[in-house]
Structure 1
Amino acid sequence: MTAFTRAELESAFGTWHRTVRECARTHDWAPFVALFTEKAEYHEANAGVLVGPEQIAGWIDFAMGRFPGTEYEEFPVHWHVIDEQAGVIVAKVGNLMRDPGDGWRLETTNLLVLEYAGGGRFSREEDVYDPAVFIGQVQEWGKRAVASGTLTDEQRAWFAQSG
């Protein structure tokens, strides 16, 4: 294991967080994918283990680059810890969807484990969460957005098909 300084790990984590926020705003997740090494492993509760930027890009574009993933707009970091010796960052991250039109804001959280590879890039990410909780959040958000009249016809059709 290579030891990294706390300052380098804090900086890399800050870049990761800013990148996630910007990608959520633009719906372009290529800058996020660029944070990973060529052989990076991304452990995702729904998708399994993804290896390398191509597989990571395929998943993130599917999950976050289209509706309803595009409705997540904020990812507050509640806390994080750093292990300088292992180059690991563990954080509790919120996942907030936009207001569906009735003022409702539910935050679903996950634990995040990042392994730093140096040079501002990561060799591993693991998102630890219960997929059923996230599905429930999206379903409740959809019901509220439909009731508020804030969805397009295409978005309403997506919810009608997804049950």
Structure 2
Amino acid sequence: MPAFPRDELDEMVRRWLGANERCEKIGDWKPLAGMYTVDATYGWSNGPEEDFMAVGRDEIRDLALGQEMFGLDGWTYPYQKVIVDDREGEVIGFWKQIADARRPDGSPYEVSGIGGSWFRYGGDWQWSWQRDFFDMGNAAALFMEMISADVLSDGMKERMERAARKQPGHYRRGEAPVEIW
């Protein structure tokens, strides 16, 4: 991958973070699809047996930013740190996952551990790929805690019901159209 000017990468990060904040406020991440190249890929591991992969801007919009983010309206993903590699044209951003629901003590429900996204810049203010990482065990534990406290939104309950069935973009390990690595 060719190098990109550091100023351009820094501006891409600024644009990305601003777009994320706007999408959080409206509870719809699909507008972020315009920030990916037409042939971009976006994936993550869903545990030891399954990967998620969206191939192309349309699948990124419909699957990664639509289907997979459904029910998470009101959640925020504040970036804690962003690291830019201008020689490789890559960016890593570390974020938290914070629900809009609160515990009885007033603290937010938040996924423990480290979450993040690894991006490759494709030029023209677009990512050519993204790979997410997060602690699946901690996410599952938080969802169980929220179920026990009966604080899941209706959208999140619907999302969990759908997740019990095979969803587009989900593949057995090694069968996705594009590898995670």
State the partner residue of 2:95: 93
How far apart, in 2, do the equivalents of 1:27 and 1:81 lie?
26
- The alpha-carbon distance between structure 1 residues 141 and 86, as it changes in their structure 2 partners (threshold 3 A), is same
Structure 2 segments unaligned to the other structure (5+ residues): 164-181
Q: Secondary structure at the match of 2:73?
A: helix
Normalized per residue, which structure has more helix?
1
After superposing the two structures, state which structure 1 stretch, 40-49 or 87-96, moved more.
40-49
Q: Secondary structure at the match of 2:88?
A: coil
How far apart, in 2, do the equivalents of 1:41 and 1:141 lie?
31
**1:151-162 mapped onto 2 (5 Å cutoff):** 154=154, 158=158
- The alpha-carbon distance between structure 1 residues 81 and 26, as it changes in their structure 2 partners (threshold 3 A), is same
How far apart, in 2, do the equivalents of 1:110 and 1:30 lie?
20
Shift of 1:55: 1.3
Structure 1 segments unaligned to the other structure (5+ residues): none
How far apart, in 2, do the equivalents of 1:160 and 1:41 lie?
24
CA-atom RMSD in angstroms: 2.7
State the partner residue of 1:135: 140
Question: Does structure 1 retain, via aligned residues, the 8 Å contact 2:100–2:109?
Answer: no
How far apart, in 2, do the equivalents of 1:43 and 1:33 lie?
14
State the partner residue of 1:58: 62
Shift of 1:141: 2.8
TM-score normalised per structure 2: 0.73
Shift of 1:155: 6.0
* Greater relative contact order, per chain length (Cα 8 Å cut-off, separation 6+): 2
